[in-house]
């Protein structure tokens, strides 16, 4: 009996110690934190401090739940400093695990963004799958401050824009970890989507994602527009959907829109005449989404014309964007270097020091193959009678 | 106690009344005392059964005026049997012409008494016990022995469907309070000479009849012997229900989990007997115990075996899910909301946060309070007279459900979660005691340590479940087995033509359940 009570006393002791020494250390009820949805980072040119604009979501109400976004800006010498300064204004501690986006201003992006990403990557609460984007407006804060229509908060609006990007494929989607991965790898430079503000008919200003910000190392060097972005995504094999518009296929005003079902790009580095050549083979499966003409492009003859023309224009677009990046931005955002690294490791060891210069001069060969598939082949265009 | 009885008995003189001593020896009590008269014997019996007015002494004479008396308990004995089968023939019989008086009882047993069971005895304890159990004692002037005639006949509840174990498909009969009827219900299902019944008497005052029931050749004798040993060691004044026995013979008396099963359905008992288990029937209670009992039996319902096996398997899986839900939903919710907000999807987080905005109590207090309130409503509902049942429902739904949320005392998600927990626990109502205990323990662990604590709780629960045994059979028998044969009656209920074997260990004495013909028949399908 004595042994028994000793044992139970021991168990009780273990429990008490377990609970009192480790229990509750991180206890906080869900309503005791401010849920941050997104952050925009600017730099104050006057005192060189960071201005952080944070969007919070305030859920409230019993039966009818209301989500009210609120935006607070704060200054800090570093990112973490600014975030802690937030308590002085906000009261509650900021909770970062549900933050969706981090918007970086153009100024900071041009200066280099590695140092501000450290906190976001290091902190335990922030997620590595945050969307990163660059504001090409004057400040990043105004993107967050912009009105949006669908959601309770701009951050969620931006989150949706990225989540559904695969059906448009005109801007890249970059999570934090992907950016840092590209930044730290050899033979590839990172990119980020860019955001602008546009007016709607009701004179509201809403954020819009438009094009790509090109980085060299961690500094932004330039922009690509939407078609250039798509061509760039073709090269990077990141196209999962979207549409291709082919104007004036056979004649004036014969416009066809193709919907991409599947796209596969193979990069292959080859040595031809002692010279490096990057072969880019794009194979696209697409369906006819819209024929804005009564001309028959379904029949074999018309279809061949359509395929040929589209293949050609995609090929040109891709060649153009490669050329632009090579000549203007001099940054290997396509990952040609890492392809060579993967396929010819011994050669890469020799050329890696000079890769930046070699990239500019790198020859490329683009081949595009378009397959038209899908049930739209059976439905004839609308005929206009007399 | 014994002494006072002996004094009483001494007054009696049934010529040579024998008393059983405690050490088991028998010895004639009043060998030396002179033969007392018939009147004195009756007087003595009256004295022994003094101040019990339910006992009737009926004096009468046989055809040739031999004095007799019938002693029986009003209400326990069947008056019709006494009148027609005892009084009438005796009053028309002459016994005086029999010269050898010791032949009289045999003569009556053979020629006069219209009863299936008549016993001759001179043991005073047996006489008293029999009278109190509904038999009728016949004393005749000048005869040494007392005749005990079976006239048992009291009112019993009719056989009806047990309300706690209803089945849509399957037999609708349930056990009643009479052990004899209960035995007959089992016997009717298993018409085999191997079906054995072993009677015991437990309770020094109540003298409750307890019957062990098993199928010889299927039951493991070691388990049977162990059970008999444990039953024999029970020393208590009274047993009113099988629950008393259950606690005395349980392997894990401190555990919230039962290691002995109970059921009110004869078909379930028959099914368990066929698997090599042993049933314990106690007189006076419709719940029959079965041993050994393992964990999965909580999750098996009788209907599983009567209905389509696909449907039955779905139901079985639902019961496993219900076990998880009713123990774990509240603790996991609590851990997520108070420690691991990052694990909740954003829209859900926002709506939980909205409903919790401005609430007075921390989530753990809310969780504990709601768990207790649910148990209060449940307990009230169980023991309530039927016509106030609706009041509890109204209070439960309106006050706890709506008003508390509207008044912003309790958050709406917590009400939903408590309701889900409650409904789930009703799916496995058998396990209610263990479920409440586990749920409260998990809530406290989660509230103090988050998911970490919950995982601790789960590990502790598993260690406990895997460590206990029921009559030597591991409680979680076959749970960890990957052999399909072992899993046929666990997570799913396999088709009958596929269950060739009896459960491992329990029915291992004769493991084959079906012949090869059935197997061949299966192949034809």
Mutate: best of B336, B338, B352, B354, partner A, most A CBs <10 A: B354
Tell whether the model's pLDDT for residue A235 goes beyond 90: yes
H-run or E-run covering B104: helix B104-111
Does the distance separating the beta carbons of B357 and A33 come in below 8 Å?
Answer: no
Q: Cβ separation of B354 and A127 shorter than 8 Å?
A: no
* pLDDT at residue number A385: 72
Helices B412-427 and B309-338 cross at an angle (nearest 10°) of 150
How many residue contacts between A and B have a Cβ separation below 8 Å? 73
Interchain contact, A19 vs B449, CB within 8 Å? yes
> Which 3-state string (H, E, C) describes A79-148?
HHHHHHHHHHHHCCEEECCCCCEEEEEHHHHHHCCHHHHHHHHHCCCCCCCCEEEEECCCCCHHHHHCCC
Look at A232-241, A362-371, B106-115 and tell me which has the smallest mean pLDDT. Answer: B106-115
Q: What are phi and psi of B35, to 5 degrees?
A: -65, 125
Closest CA to B210 of B162, B168, B249: B249
Q: What is the pLDDT of residue B20?
A: 43
DSSP state of A164: T
Tell me, yes or no, if A30 comes closer than 8 A to chain B by beta carbon: yes
Enumerate residue ranges in chain B where pLDDT < 50. 1-35, 523-525
Confidence at residue A54, expressed as pLDDT on a 0 to 100 scale: 92
Output the six-digit token pair for B359: 């609430």
Are residues B472 and B223 in contact, defined by beta-carbon separation less than 8 angstroms? yes
Q: Could you tell me the pTM of the whole model?
A: 0.83
pLDDT at A251 over 90: no
pLDDT of res. B247: 92
What CA dihedral angle connects B475, B477, B482 and B486, to 10 degrees? Answer: -140
Among B117, B129, B26, smallest CA distance to B71 is for: B129
**Residue of B340, B342, B353, B405 to mutate, interface with A, max A Cβ within 10 Å:** B353
Which residues of A are less than 8 Å from B351 in CB distance?
59, 65
Q: Which of B339, B350, B355 sits opposite A62 (nearest CB)?
A: B355
8-state DSSP, A45 = T
> Does pLDDT of A62 surpass 80?
no
CB B335 within 8 A of CB B444: no
The number of helix segments (H) and strand segments (E) in chain B equals 19, 14
Q: Given the cut 0.95, state whether the ipTM is greater than it.
A: no
Please report where in the chains the tokens 């009256």 appear, as a residue: B46
Is-cis flag, bond preceding B292, omega within 30?
Answer: yes
Measured between alpha carbons, how far is B139 from B57 in angstroms, rounded to an integer? 10
- Let me know if A124 is exposed, middle or buried by CB neighbors in 10 A (0-12, 13-18, 19+): exposed
The answer, for A99 touching chain B at a CB cutoff of 8 Å, is no
Residue B163 tokens, joined = 């309300």
pLDDT tens for B309-351 read 999 999 999 999 999 999 999 999 999 999 998 899 988 998 8
Burial status of residue A100 (CB atoms within 10 A of its CB: 0-12, 13-18, 19 or more)? buried
């Amino acid at each position: 009996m004595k042994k028994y009570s000793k044992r139970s006393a021991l168990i009780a002791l273990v429990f008490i110690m377990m609970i009192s020494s480790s229990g509750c250390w991180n206890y906080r009820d869900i309503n005791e934190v401010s849920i941050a949805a997104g952050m925009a980072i600017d730099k104050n040119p006057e005192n060189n401090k960071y201005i952080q604009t944070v969007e919070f979501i305030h859920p409230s109400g019993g039966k009818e739940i209301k989500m009210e976004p609120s935006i607070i800006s704060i200054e800090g010498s570093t990112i973490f400093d600014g975030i802690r300064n937030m308590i002085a204004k906000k009261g509650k501690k900021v909770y970062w695990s549900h933050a969706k986006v981090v918007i970086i201003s153009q100024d900071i992006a041009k200066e280099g963004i590695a140092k501000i990403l450290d906190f976001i990557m290091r902190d335990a609460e922030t997620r590595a799958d945050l969307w990163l984007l660059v504001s090409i407006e004057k400040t990043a804060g105004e993107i967050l401050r912009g009105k949006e229509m669908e959601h309770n908060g701009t951050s969620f609006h931006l989150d949706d824009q990225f989540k559904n990007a695969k059906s448009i494929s005109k801007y890249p989607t970059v999570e934090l970890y992907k950016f840092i991965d590209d930044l730290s790898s050899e033979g590839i430079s990172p990119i980020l989507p860019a955001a602008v503000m546009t007016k709607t008919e009701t004179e509201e200003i809403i954020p819009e994602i438009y094009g790509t910000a090109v980085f060299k190392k961690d500094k932004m060097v330039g922009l690509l527009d939407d078609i250039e972005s798509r061509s760039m995504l073709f090269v990077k094999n990141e196209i999962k959907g979207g549409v291709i518009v082919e104007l004036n296929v056979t004649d004036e005003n014969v416009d066809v829109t193709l919907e991409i079902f599947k796209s596969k790009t193979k990069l292959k580095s080859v040595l031809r005449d002692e010279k490096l050549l990057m072969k880019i083979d794009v194979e696209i499966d697409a369906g006819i989404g819209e024929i804005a003409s009564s001309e028959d492009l379904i029949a074999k003859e018309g279809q061949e014309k359509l395929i040929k023309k589209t293949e050609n224009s995609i090929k040109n677009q891709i060649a153009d964007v490669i050329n632009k990046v090579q000549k203007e931005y001099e940054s290997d955002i396509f990952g040609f270097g890492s392809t060579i690294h993967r396929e010819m490791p011994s050669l890469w060891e020799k050329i890696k020091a000079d890769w930046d210069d070699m990239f500019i001069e790198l020859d490329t060969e683009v081949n595009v193959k378009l397959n038209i598939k899908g049930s739209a082949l059976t439905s004839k265009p609308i005929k206009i009678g007399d | 106690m014994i002494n006072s009885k002996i004094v009483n008995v001494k007054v009696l003189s049934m010529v040579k009344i024998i008393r059983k001593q405690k050490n088991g020896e028998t010895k004639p009590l009043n060998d030396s005392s002179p033969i007392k008269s018939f009147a004195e014997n009756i007087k003595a019996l009256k004295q022994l059964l003094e101040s019990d007015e339910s006992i009737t002494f009926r004096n009468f004479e046989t055809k040739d005026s031999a004095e007799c008396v019938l002693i029986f308990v009003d209400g326990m004995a069947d008056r019709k049997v006494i009148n027609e089968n005892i009084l009438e023939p005796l009053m028309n019989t002459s016994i005086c012409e029999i010269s050898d008086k010791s032949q009289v009882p045999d003569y009556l047993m053979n020629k006069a008494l219209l009863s299936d069971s008549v016993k001759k005895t001179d043991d005073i304890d047996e006489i008293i016990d029999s009278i109190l159990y509904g038999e009728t004692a016949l004393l005749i002037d000048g005869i040494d022995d007392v005749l005990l005639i079976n006239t048992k006949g009291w009112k019993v509840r009719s056989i009806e469907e047990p309300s706690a174990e209803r089945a849509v498909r399957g037999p609708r009969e349930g056990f009643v309070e009479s052990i004899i009827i209960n035995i007959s219900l089992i016997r009717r299902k298993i018409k085999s000479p191997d079906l054995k019944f072993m009677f015991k008497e437990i309770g020094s005052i109540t003298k409750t009849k307890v019957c062990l029931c098993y199928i010889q050749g299927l039951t493991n004798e070691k388990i049977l012997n162990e059970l008999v040993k444990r039953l024999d060691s029970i020393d208590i004044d009274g047993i009113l229900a099988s629950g008393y026995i259950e606690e005395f013979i349980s392997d894990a008396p401190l555990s919230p989990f039962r290691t002995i099963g109970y059921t009110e359905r004869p078909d379930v008992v028959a099914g368990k007997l066929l698997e090599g288990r042993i049933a314990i029937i106690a007189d006076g209670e419709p719940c029959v115990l079965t041993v050994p009992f393992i964990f999965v039996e909580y999750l098996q319902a009788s209907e599983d075996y009567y209905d389509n096996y696909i449907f039955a398997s779905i139901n079985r899986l639902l019961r496993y899910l219900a076990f998880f839900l009713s123990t774990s939903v509240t603790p996991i919710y609590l851990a997520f909301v108070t420690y691991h907000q990052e694990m909740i999807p954003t829209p859900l987080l926002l709506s939980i946060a909205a409903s919790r905005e401005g609430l007075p109590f921390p989530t753990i207090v809310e969780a504990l309070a709601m768990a207790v309130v649910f148990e209060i409503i449940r307990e009230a509902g169980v023991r309530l007279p039927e016509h106030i049942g609706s009041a509890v429902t109204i209070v439960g739904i309106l006050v706890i459900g709506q008003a508390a949320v509207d008044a912003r005392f309790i958050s709406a998600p917590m009400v939903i979660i408590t309701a889900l927990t409650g409904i789930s626990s009703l799916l496995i109502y058998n396990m209610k005691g263990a479920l409440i205990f586990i749920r409260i323990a998990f809530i406290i662990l989660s509230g103090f340590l988050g998911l970490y604590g919950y995982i601790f709780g789960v590990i502790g629960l598993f260690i406990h479940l895997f460590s206990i045994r029921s009559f030597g059979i591991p409680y979680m028998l076959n749970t960890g087995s990957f052999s399909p044969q072992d899993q046929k009656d666990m997570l799913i209920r396999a088709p009958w033509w596929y269950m060739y074997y009896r459960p491992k260990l329990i029915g291992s004495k004769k493991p084959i359940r079906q012949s090869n013909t059935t197997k061949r028949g299966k192949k034809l399908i």
